[in-house]
Structures are given as C-alpha cells and as structure tokens.
A and B are shown apart, each in its own frame.
Chain A
Amino acid sequence: MKKWLRPSILILTLCALVAPSWTHAAEKKYTIALIPGLTTDAFYITMHRGAQAAADALGAELIFQGAPEFNPVQQVPVLNAITGRKPDAILIAPTDKTQLIEPLKKAAAAGVAVVTVDTFIGDGHYQTGSGNADFPLSYVASDNIMGGQIAARALAKAIGDKGKVYVSNVKPGISTTDQREQGFKEEMKKHSNITVLETQFNDDDANKAASQLQSVYARNSDLAGVFGANLFSAVGAAAGVKQANATGKIKVAAFDAPKSIVDQIKSGEIEMTIAQHPAEIGYFGVVTAYAHLTGQSVPPLIGTGFTVIDKNNADDPAVKKFIYSE
C-alpha cells in the first residue's frame, strides 16, 4: 500500500504544480469588474447584461458590484474594495467628475486597467497627456449632448416648432444629465419660435418634478413641452401634466427606456423617449478592456447609439430590443 502511495503523491503534486502554468500559458482568465453608478437602476442592470454577454464570449470573469445610490460617498468604498481584489480591469460609471479622480488613480497605480462607462472623470478626454484625469484607457458611452439634441429635435417636431419648453433635471454636477440639458438647449436655439424657460431641479423626486411642472404651467399657460432628463424627472412631469388636465397639450419627452416609460408612451402620457443602448455600452466596455489586456490598442472614446421610441414604433421588434431589461 505505502509503496505505491508515495510515488503517486509525487506525481499528483507535480501535476498540480504544472497544470496551472499550462493553462496560464494557454489562456489567462481575466477578471473584469463593472461598477455602475447605482445598482438599483434598469439602465445599469441592462448594461450588466451586455457586459456579461461580452465576458461570456471572451471567457472572462465579470464582477458586478456597486452602491445603492448615485453618489461618490457610497461609490468610492465599493471601488476601493474592488481594487483590493486586484481585478485585471475596472469598468466604472463615475458618480462625480472630480471626486472619483483620486480613487481611480490609485486603482490605475495598482496596475488595474480603468475604463469609464456612461459617465466620465475630468473632461472625458483620456490619454491626451494633459490634465490629471487622462489616465483611463477609454470612455464608452452614449454622446449625451447628442442625446439632448435628439430630444430637442423630437420635442420641437411634436409641438409644431413653437411655444415654451423647459428642462426637468435632477441636480447639477452629474456629467450625463448636464450634457443632455446642454445639448437640448443648444439645439433649441436653432428653433426661433421656441422659448426655453429656466431649468427646474427636482432632486430625483417625482413628486417635486410634478409640482414644478404645475407651477411653471400656472405661470406659463402656453407651455408646450418638457424634457425630463432622467426617469423620475419625466415620470414626475407626466404626472403633473395629467393632474393639470393638459395631457396632449403639454408634450413630455423622456430620456432612457425602462418598461414603465414605454408603458406611458403607449398610454399617451409621455410623447417619446430617447433610449440609450446600455447593453451596447456594457458589451463594448468589456471588449475594450479585454483588447487592452491582450495587448491591443483601444480608442479613447467609443460612442454608442440612440433610438427614439414613440407610440408608432414601440411595438416594432427592431425597436423593442432597446427597452431596458428588468
């Protein structure tokens, strides 16, 4: 018994020592972490789905961890914990343009490849050799300025190119919603018969957004449209319109396409929404990180597309796939 045990242990040990280096040489399994702006949002959940599809296709391991709220105070500890695990790459939707720079710098210094998705740090221009926030490899996102412009064009068309409109927004300082507002206002300047009123900030509270709509409408009876720059801004504005008995008279343009928004488009409470392609962002985020890890060069900016969803195309299978999954 003992006689054959010893050599077999030796053989087993040798195998155990050699085996990992074999597979290592053949194909390293990369670990890529995705840190969303917040975990409780259909947008990021859909992004996770796209990222998972890419990770599965490439044989990489994907970690999805984030904070329940969109703020740096809660996101940074998550980032630090993930950095501590030393993944090969981090895809992150930074919750603040400046506050995330230092924590991400530490991750990069520890040898982790950093790609930002959806939102950015600094000015969003990476690998330029200037500024202190150019170290991420790439920024994969929808062009939110363009998204705002598309929203402005669609809303202008819906209101017959005249009247008053305003932007219902969350709060200043969030790169994406700031850009949507910027794009919307830029585009509206080209429409001389449309007046853009002062932006209303609602703190992501639908109740407040509804009340603000009613207040603005009470003073401006010729209010023709509202651009809700995120989910609760649009949902709140739509409820305000309904309460004011002005459905159809005041058109609401939304941004993003969770199922609840699409339902409200079908019922006529919301005119149209500008759907981003979050699955695409997740997919190309992972692919970009993988390309870098395997020695390929990557573009510093990857723009993903938009789809305008309205009553006429909401059931079209080609459009339906852009509704965010839950």
Chain B
Amino acid sequence: MDTIPVTEVDTDKIGWLGWLAAARAWLFLALLFVAFEVWAQFAYHVTFLFNPFNVQSIAVFAVAPLLLALGQTLVIISGGIDLSVGFTMGFAAVVFAHCVNGTLDSLGVFGSLVVGVLVAISASIVPGLINGLLIARLKVPPFIGTLGMYGVARGIAFLLAGGTTVPVRNSILAALGNGNLFGFPTIVLVTIIIVAVMHFVLSQSRYGQHVYAIGGSRQASLRAGINVERNTIVLYILSAVCAAIGGILYTARFSAGAAQAGEPLLLDSIAAVVIGGASLFGGSGTVIGTVIGALIIAVIQYGLVFVNVEPFWQFVAVGVVIVISVLVDQSQRRLGGGKVDEE
C-alpha cells in the first residue's frame, strides 16, 4: 500500500479532510456499530455490539461475499472486473460435493475431503485461465469475457448437479462448516488466513505492485517491462480460486453443493470492493478496504434485522452506502490531486 505511486494521497498537503476521506470505510463501519448499538439500547434495551454472538454471526455472514470480493479486489485494481465469480463458486461447490461423495468409500472421511478440495480448486483454475486468456491475449473486454464465463460456468455447474443441490455427508466437513476452533467459527479462521495471504500478495510482493501499475496505466506498465499479459492471466485465476474456496466453505456450511450458491453474492462482492475504496477505473484499492466493505454490508443487513426494520430497507441502505463511498472517493482524489475518474 505504501509503495504505490499511482494513487498515493499526499496526506500532508490535504490535512485532516483527506485523512478523513482515506479512513472513511473504517469510520463508517464504526459509525454503523454505534448507530445500531444506540438503536438497540433505546428501542429494546439490549446491546448490539457487546454481544459476542452478534459479532460472530456477522463475521460468518461476511465470509461468502468476502471470498468472492478478495479476488475481485485484485481484478478491479488492475482495471478489470470478474462477473463470473458467482457461478465459479457454484461450479466449485458442485465439483467439491461430487468428489467428496465419490471418494468417500475408497479414501475415507479425511482423504475424500483433501481430494475434494484439490479437485475443486484445480477445476476452478479452468474458468479463471480462460477468462485470463480471453482478456489478456484476445483483448476481449473483461466485462464481456467474464459475462460469457458467467453463463458457461453456470450451465456446467447445473449440468453437473443435475439441476438440483448435491447433498454431502462428511462428518469432518460438517464440523468445519459450522464448528468453532479456539472459540472462533472455523470458516472465519480459514477466511482470515486467505485474507492475510491476499493482503501480503497485494501490498508486499512485486506481483502486487505490478497489479497496481497495470491498473494505473497499462501503457506505462508495458513500457516499464511488466509482463502485463501473464500478470493479467494470473489475476483471473486468483479470482477463480478465491471463489472456489468460497464454494467449498459454502458446501461445508450448508452440507450441500449448490450451483446457484454464489448467484446472489456477485453484486454484494463488487459493492464490498467499491465501498472498501477501490476504483472501478483501476489503480487503487486494498484488501483490508474490501474486508471493511464486506463487513459494512454484513453489519447493515444483520443489524436491520436485529432492530426489526422492514427487510426492503436493506437494499436502500446498501445502495446509499455504495453511492456515498464513490462520491467520497471522487472528492478525495480531487483533493489529493490524484487520478480523477473522468474522461
């Protein structure tokens, strides 16, 4: 994060206002917690934030959209978008469920799980690779290329599933999906590890710097000798693998692989990335921002149920947050003299 020249905001120059804008996602999340806490206290005389059950539930809720959003963050930073993640997730969930069921007798409870994870992740590389090749080599616009893959992955997932959900019976998997480890939900711990890895890749590795550079200016990256084509292909594979992990955790949690598992999550995942401060025009964004973005969406949706607000307000609330985020983002860039997203 700190080595990226493309969009770095000079905080000295713009003072507290710019700092406020830069930390807006954190502030907003904190504000939401406070608002719901006050609301719950006044209306029902109960605590919202200081109930560990609530915090845990929100974390579990955020897992699936967050996993889709992690790969998406990198893709969006590079100036692309991956619309196929939802069905790549469903595809991986179905492949995983079939593998675990199919190898249970020969490999046992644990062996079948390992094979299932390996096969599902390997299988997800295929749509990722095709996306990458289409976009990097054949110069298909990301929106169109991944929209095509959206349909293909969806169709194949449903074909593999026979048009229905594939139930899984595996005792270890059930414990993984709904159990706790050291007092934390296991799927949340798994997600934290993946977040840490992705954060490291994006903020510390040379690859991460290249991703920002490609998003900042593709031409400049080419001139600087960055292998844009290969980096882009890897991006879409990473995105598909993150989605596949989401599919595996979904299957663990609901003891069934469903082809439509990720369908309602796609837009939430893109919203999480944008709320987290990434620009759809590329060049900026962070993994931690996306985590906050996913948490904001989860807190809104969970909190509004908690304080018993009519459900349709959830859509309104999330929509308003997205628009505000983008507006703040734009003004922050003007303040910082950075790249403003207008042609």
Q: Which of A's residues lie within 8 Å of B, judged by CB?
A: 39-42, 45, 68, 198, 200-201, 203-208, 210-212, 214-216, 218-219, 231-232, 235-236, 239-240, 242-244, 258-260, 263-264, 267, 269, 324, 326
Contacts and interface: CB of A to CB of B under 8 A. Distances in A.
A210 to B, nearest CB: 7
Given A201-B312, A207-B65, A326-B164, 17 more contacts: A41-B164, A42-B165, A45-B162, A45-B163, A45-B164, A68-B158, A206-B250, A206-B261, A210-B61, A211-B61, A214-B61, A215-B302, A219-B308, A242-B178, A243-B57, A244-B53, A269-B255
Contacts of A267: 169, 255
A326 B259 CA distance: 14
Q: Which among A214, A240, A258 has the greatest number of chain B C-beta atoms within 10 A?
A: A214
B98 to A, nearest CB: 12
Contact of A205 (B54, B154, B161, B264): B264
A263 B101 CA distance: 13
Given A42-B164, A210-B61, A215 B255 contact: no
Given A40-B259, A263-B255, A204 B167 contact: no
Interface string B5-43: 000000000000000000000000000000000000000
Given A206-B254, A218-B57, A260 B305 contact: no
Contacts of B298: 211
B60 interface: yes
A235 B306 contact: no
Nearest to A215: B305
A239 B302 contact: no
Contacts of A244: 53, 57
Given A198-B308, A236-B254, A243-B178, A211 B163 contact: no
B308 A218 contact: no
> On chain B, which size bracket covers the interface?
35 or more
A321 B284 CA distance: 56
B306 A219 contact: yes
A214 B178 CA distance: 13
Contacts of A39: 163
A214 B53 contact: yes
A324 B250 CA distance: 23
Interface string B229-259: 0000000000000000000001001111011
B185 interface: yes
Contact of A200 (B57, B61, B305): B305
Given A41-B163, A68-B158, A210-B61, A260 B302 contact: no
B72 interface: no
B260 interface: yes
B46 interface: yes
B167 A259 contact: yes
Contacts of A243: 56-57, 60, 178, 185, 253
B64 to A, nearest CB: 5
Q: Which among B44, B53, B162 has the greatest number of chain A C-beta atoms within 10 A?
A: B53
A260 B51 contact: no
A34 to B, nearest CB: 14
A68 B154 contact: yes
B149 interface: no
A260 B250 CA distance: 14
A204 B169 CA distance: 23
B164 A215 contact: no
A200 B164 contact: no
Contact of B301 (A198, A211, A219, A258): A211
Contacts of A240: 57
A259 to B, nearest CB: 6
B265 interface: yes
B311 interface: yes
Contacts of A218: 51, 53-54, 57, 306
Which 10 residue pairs across A and B have the least CB separation, nearest first? A260-B167, A214-B57, A211-B61, A215-B305, A205-B264, A42-B164, A242-B178, A260-B256, A40-B163, A263-B167
Nearest to A38: B163
Contacts of B302: 211-212, 214-215
A279 to B, nearest CB: 15
Contact of B57 (A203, A215, A326): A215
Contacts of B162: 45, 326
A212 B158 contact: no
Contacts of B265: 205, 207
Contacts of A324: 164
Contacts of B61: 207-208, 210-211, 214
